[in-house]
Amino acid sequence: MSDSGLEEPAKTLLEQLPFAAHIEHAYTLRETALYGGADHIVGEKEGRIGLIHRRERDALCKPRDRFWGLNRGGEDHVSSCWRCTQIAAGASAAPESVKTSAGGPL
Ligand SMILES: [Zn+2]
């Protein structure tokens, strides 16, 4: 099935990450037709990315308890959160910056 002329889709940022992560949708109190929260990248294990420390199941951009609601849903693999995307891009570009909180490789 390679005669479509289309190239393989590029790996998503999530697939390039040096640690297990998934997307969760953050709802907001002011969810409207124009603003429906964002899809954040959630790490599955506690660890550090450079100077950022995240516990298990925290979003990359901020801890889970700072969200009003953060729920796994759908099969979307693309984050719409600018900050999560920036942090994930940095982690992919420099996997050596990703460590467990004890300092070892994640
Ligand atoms: Zn985020």
pLDDT digits (tens, 9 = 90+) for 17-44: 999 999 999 987 766 655 567 899 999 9
pLDDT digits (tens, 9 = 90+) for 59-96: 999 999 998 889 987 667 789 999 999 999 999 999 99
Q: 39 near 79, Cβ under 8 Å?
A: yes
> Tokens representing 20?
């297990």
- The answer to the question of residue 5 being in a domain is no
For 41, the domain range is 13-99
Q: 28 near 35, Cβ under 8 Å?
A: yes
pLDDT for the residue 36? 62
pLDDT for the residue 102? 78
Q: How far is the CA of 62 from the centre of ligand 1 (A)?
A: 7
Q: How many domains does the chain have?
A: 1
pLDDT surpasses 80 at 45: yes
Q: How far is the CA of 7 from the centre of ligand 1 (A)?
A: 29
- The answer to the question of residue 106 being in a domain is no
Predicted TM-score (pTM) above 0.85: no
Q: CA torsion sign, 99 to 87 to 18 to 21? A: positive
- The answer to the question of residue 53 being in a domain is yes
- The answer to the question of residue 90 being in a domain is yes
- The answer to the question of residue 79 being in a domain is yes
- Burial of residue 80 (CB within 10 Å: 0-12, 13-18, 19+) is middle
pLDDT surpasses 70 at 2: no
Q: How far is the CA of 82 from the centre of ligand 1 (A)?
A: 7
- In degrees, to the nearest 5, what angle opens at C-alpha 34 toward C-alphas 30 and 38? 70
- The answer to the question of residue 18 being in a domain is yes
pLDDT for the residue 56? 95
- The answer to the question of residue 86 being in a domain is yes
Q: How far is the CA of 51 from the centre of ligand 1 (A)?
A: 16
- The answer to the question of residue 71 being in a domain is yes
